[in-house]
Amino acid sequence: MTNYKKIKTRVYEILEKSDPNDITGKTVDLFLIILITLNVIAIVLQSVVGLSVKYYGVFRIFEIVSVIIFSVEYILRLWSCNVTNKYDGIFLGRLKFGLAPLSLVDFFAILPFYLPLVIAVDLRFLRVLRLFRLFRVFKFSRYFEAMNIIGRVFKKKRGELIITLFTVFLLLLIFSGFMFQIESRAQPENFSSIPQAMWWGISAVTPIDFGLRPVTILGKILSSIVAFLGVGLFALPAGIISSGLAEDIRTKKKKIKCPSCGKEININND
């Protein structure tokens, strides 16, 4: 193995593998965790007008230093990724790595700094774009297993969640249609269409109040029914996610390592 290949492999091991016995890798991880935390705190403090104006220079210098570090990190990850078979290939391997969820998080975390330097960006759009810096929060998922567990649960239960959310939307559409028919004559300005009535439906099952309330007896009865159903319907996604978390934790506890090779072995008690 050439020195170039050794350096590349070592960079990949430090940034991607996170071996508990690798002191350099753990030190780099800890440094990045602290930097991400400080960035999130800085973003929050910058939203306070008084602090943003008073400490503009401090925030700006910290932002530049952070972006340089995150940019170097992103480039090194992209450069070293093709040492593994999964991302083999000078161009296609790096493209595949760059389109991975965590790589996209890294990209969007630094995008707001560079984009105004390349193209003229409307200031109002720039304010929205700066919110992408909050993507640095999601970089924590590289270092904390808890965030990876949540991601696995959403991926594993995506079918059930999609069906549940589609059912909620379908019922919202049906009840909004009924409410439109009931209330459109009594309140033509508030229930002028089914989409307008859907704002009422959202108010009925969430704490959000759009100021749309039925005035007819049938409308009030329907609103009460929807309010009761809403409690159960919105509890379904939470139940699916909770059961998924419990399953994932149980599965993880069943894993043991082989004393010979050190690889994980799945034990199924069923």
Q: pLDDT by residue (tens digit) across 1-54?
A: 678 888 888 888 888 776 667 788 888 888 888 888 888 888 888 878 888 888
pTM, two decimals, is: 0.59
Residue 270's pLDDT band (cuts 50, 70, 90):
very low
- Higher pLDDT: 262 or 269? It is 262
Report how far residue 202's alpha carbon sits from residue 210's, in angstroms, rounded to the nearest whole number.
Answer: 9
Residue 140's pLDDT band (cuts 50, 70, 90):
low
Residue 75's pLDDT band (cuts 50, 70, 90):
very high
Tens digits of residue pLDDT in 116-135: 777 776 545 555 555 565 55
Helix 194-205 to helix 217-253 angle (10° resolution) is 60
CATH architecture type of domain 3-143: Up-down Bundle (1.20)
- Residue 199 token pair: 């704002």
Residues of the chain with CATH 1.20.120.350: 3-143
CATH architecture type of domain 158-266: Orthogonal Bundle (1.10)
Burial of 26 (0-12, 13-18, 19+ CB in 10 A): middle
Q: Which of 18, 255, 260 is nearest to 140 (CA)?
A: 18
- In the chain, how long is the greatest CA-to-CA distance? 82
Residues of the chain with CATH 1.10.287.70: 158-266
User: Contacts from 259-263 at CB under 8 Å and sequence distance 24+?
Assistant: none
